[in-house]
Amino acid sequence: MAIDGFFIAALTSGSLIFVLPMLAYIAWARWKAAKTGQMALLLTAGLLMFISNNWLPSLPVNNNVKQFTASALFAANALKMSQESCDIVCAEDQLNLLLPQLHATTLTEAEQKEILQALLDASNVEDDSKVSLYKQAVRQLQTGPTTNTAAITGAVTPEADITASWWQRLQRSDHSILKWIQGILSDLGIGFGWAIGYFTLFIAWNNGQTIGKKLCGIRVVQLDNKPLSLWGAFGRQGGYSAGFATGLLGFLQIYWDPNRQAIQDKLADTLVLREK
């Protein structure tokens, strides 16, 4: 993964010095597999990039990393609300964490209300409590973050912090694992758009191997041993989002899963094998 991270960081610069050699490598792999149509597509893309003449690296943009982390936190809160053990107090706490993230989006007020309604419908709170929570959340959403109330900003008193779950305290902490990962990815300049494209193309069109996997002697295969399609390789990348949303537990489950599958392999019905 660290080897692939280096190449993704190089791609994020947008310089053709790094992009064209990787396109040429995948095109060569497609030529060996007798996939001339895919090879022609890659060569055409490389030619168009060559004409653009963008040879100098540019500074990486960290907005993608921040947006991805915010989405992962939002998904984690929504997942917590849908659990059977989440009562009205739990649902209210999760809404207080979700509202600032929802207010920071560019969605219209009607769309924000629709999301709130969907979240409450998915919860196991009683209908009467859902109505009161919805009205309370809408009022807080309309007042906006400028009111600086504890419910909207997520600020808590020491007594409330004691009763908060470990996941809520982790999200409020400046030393959380997710923020630590976000900082590392920002420093490396890794753009998630480039990362998804890198893993999708290499895994689908290079026999299940990225550059890092090839150097380590491993590759991704489907459980039915059929070649992994481009769409299947793309769908597998959604598992990485789920892995971050579960606080990295999705990645660590390879240590106790009987098939040694991480969450992205579970979702895509794939397996990482070591070549002999």
Half-sphere exposure of 214 (CA within 13 A, CB side): 13
In which band, very low, low, confident or very high, does the pLDDT at 156 lie, cut at 50, 70 and 90?
A: very low
Nearest of 169, 156, 150, 190 to residue 64 by alpha carbon: 190
pLDDT of 185 reads 56
The answer on pLDDT for 97 being more than 50 is yes
CA dist., res. 149 & res. 146, Å (int): 8
Q: What is the 3-state secondary structure (H, E, C) of the chain?
A: CHHHHHHHHHHHCCCHHHHHHHHHHHHHHHHHCCCHHHHHHHHHHHHHHHHHCCCCCCCCCCHHHHHHHHHHHHHHHHHHHCCCCCCHHHHHHHHHHHHHHHHCCCCCHHHHHHHHHHHHHHCCCCHHHHHHHHHHHHHHHHHCHHHCCHHHHCCCCHHHHHHCCHHHHHHHCCCCHHHHHHHHHHHHCCCHHHHHHHHHHHHHHCCCCCHHHHHHCEEEEECCCCCCCHHHHHHHHHHHHHHHHCCCHHHHHHHCCCCCCCHHHHHHCEEEEECC
pLDDT of 60 reads 45
pLDDT of 151 reads 41
Q: Average of pLDDT values for 100-124?
A: 75
Cβ(20)–Cβ(46) under 8 Å? Answer: yes
For residue 222, list its beta bridge partners. Answer: 270
pLDDT of 28 reads 92
Q: What is the mean pLDDT of the chain?
A: 73
**pLDDT tens per residue across span 48-66:** 777 766 554 544 444 444 4
pLDDT of 240 reads 74
The answer on pLDDT for 72 being more than 80 is no
pTM of the model: 0.49
**pLDDT tens per residue across span 192-245:** 777 888 888 888 888 888 888 888 888 888 888 888 888 888 888 777 777 777
pLDDT of 168 reads 58
